[in-house]
């Protein structure tokens, strides 16, 4: 039977296409390609799902961190032990419930500060160390490292404090934030640890590296004092 318009319908073209499709479908490479495509699609769905889950968790974690931070007064740490303990629990909850939170270093650092003011120095060091292990960098890493030193020093473990301060100072240059504080703190700890000669070298280093320091006069006085002490010791 012809089509409208008088043109005959040619079945041969359709049969050829069907035969080509069958050959392609029976081809090992075609089946392999389809299998690979299915795997890629499945992986794409999984990645999209995982990313969506991560974003939800991240959003909730940041909200929890904001709520914990809101417990801190804008001008410093909580004024009462009760308020401080409430804040400690809040930051601990953030780190426990959202261990993969991108802002975990900030949460751990704040927790370290709170535990330091509570006199829980060992726990404070652990929190500062957690901030470093979770990826704190730049100024945040410097401050966390200094926190570890302060916690050792508060326990009068001066050798450990000096080592912590030295670790911080080793990554800083004279123009970097907290360079003076790190070297001064190391010198102070070395002096307390019974190593005045080492402390003297550190104070002299500060005067060389930062000649315009606001602490210059105090540093010169410390150098003079230590020189007299180490000179008396040599005699």
CA distance 161 to 125: 11
Of 165, 166, 145, 233, the closest CA to residue 194 belongs to 233
21-37 per-position pLDDT tens digit: 566 556 655 555 555 55
Q: Are 111 and 92 in contact (CB under 8 A)?
A: yes
What is the chain's length? 235
pLDDT of 3 above 60: no
CATH of segment(s) 158-235: 1.25.40.10
Show me where the domains of the chain are located: 75-155, 158-235
User: Quick count: other Cβ atoms within 10 Å of Cβ 89?
Assistant: 14
Q: Please give the CATH topology (third level) of the domain spanning 75-155.
A: 1.25.40
Of 167, 113, 115, the closest CA to residue 142 belongs to 167
The percent of the chain in helix, strand and coil, each rounded to the nearest 5, is 75, 0, 25
Question: Do 158-235 and 75-155 have the same topology in CATH?
Answer: yes
- In terms of DSSP H, where are the helices of 98-195? 104-117, 121-133, 138-154, 158-169, 179-192
Q: What is the pLDDT of residue 229?
A: 81
Of 175, 133, 130, the closest CA to residue 151 belongs to 130
CA distance 6 to 132: 83
Q: What is the pLDDT of residue 25?
A: 55
pLDDT of 41 above 70: no
118-174 per-position pLDDT tens digit: 999 999 999 999 999 999 999 999 999 999 999 999 999 999 999 999 999 999 999
pTM: 0.74
Q: What is the pLDDT of residue 26?
A: 61
Confidence of residue 90 (pLDDT cuts 50, 70, 90): very high
Q: What is the pLDDT of residue 78?
A: 81
pLDDT of 223 above 60: yes
Q: What is the pLDDT of residue 170?
A: 95
CA angle, 30 as apex, 27 and 32 as ends, to 5°?
110
């Amino acid at each position: 039977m012809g089509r409208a318009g008088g043109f005959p319908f040619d079945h041969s073209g359709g049969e050829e296409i069907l035969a080509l499709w069958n050959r392609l479908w029976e081809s090992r490479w075609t089946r392999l390609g389809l299998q690979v495509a299915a795997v890629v699609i499945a992986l794409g769905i999984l990645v999209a799902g995982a990313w969506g889950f991560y974003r939800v968790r991240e959003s909730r974690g940041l909200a929890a961190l904001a709520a914990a931070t809101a417990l801190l007064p804008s001008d410093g740490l909580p004024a009462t032990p009760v308020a401080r303990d409430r804040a400690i629990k809040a930051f601990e909850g953030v780190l426990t419930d959202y261990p993969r939170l991108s802002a975990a270093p900030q949460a751990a650092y704040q927790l370290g500060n709170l535990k330091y003011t509570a006199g829980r120095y060992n726990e404070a060091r652990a929190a500062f160390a957690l901030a470093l292990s979770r990826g704190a960098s730049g100024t945040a890493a410097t401050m966390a490292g200094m926190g570890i030193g302060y916690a050792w020093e508060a326990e009068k473990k001066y050798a450990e404090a000096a080592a912590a301060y030295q670790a911080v100072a080793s990554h800083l240059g004279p123009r970097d934030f907290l360079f003076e504080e790190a070297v001064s703190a190391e010198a102070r700890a070395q002096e307390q640890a019974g190593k005045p000669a080492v402390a003297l070298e550190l104070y002299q280093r500060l005067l060389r590296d930062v000649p315009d320091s606001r602490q210059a006069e105090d540093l010169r006085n410390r150098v003079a004092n230590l020189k007299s002490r180490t000179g008396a010791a040599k005699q």
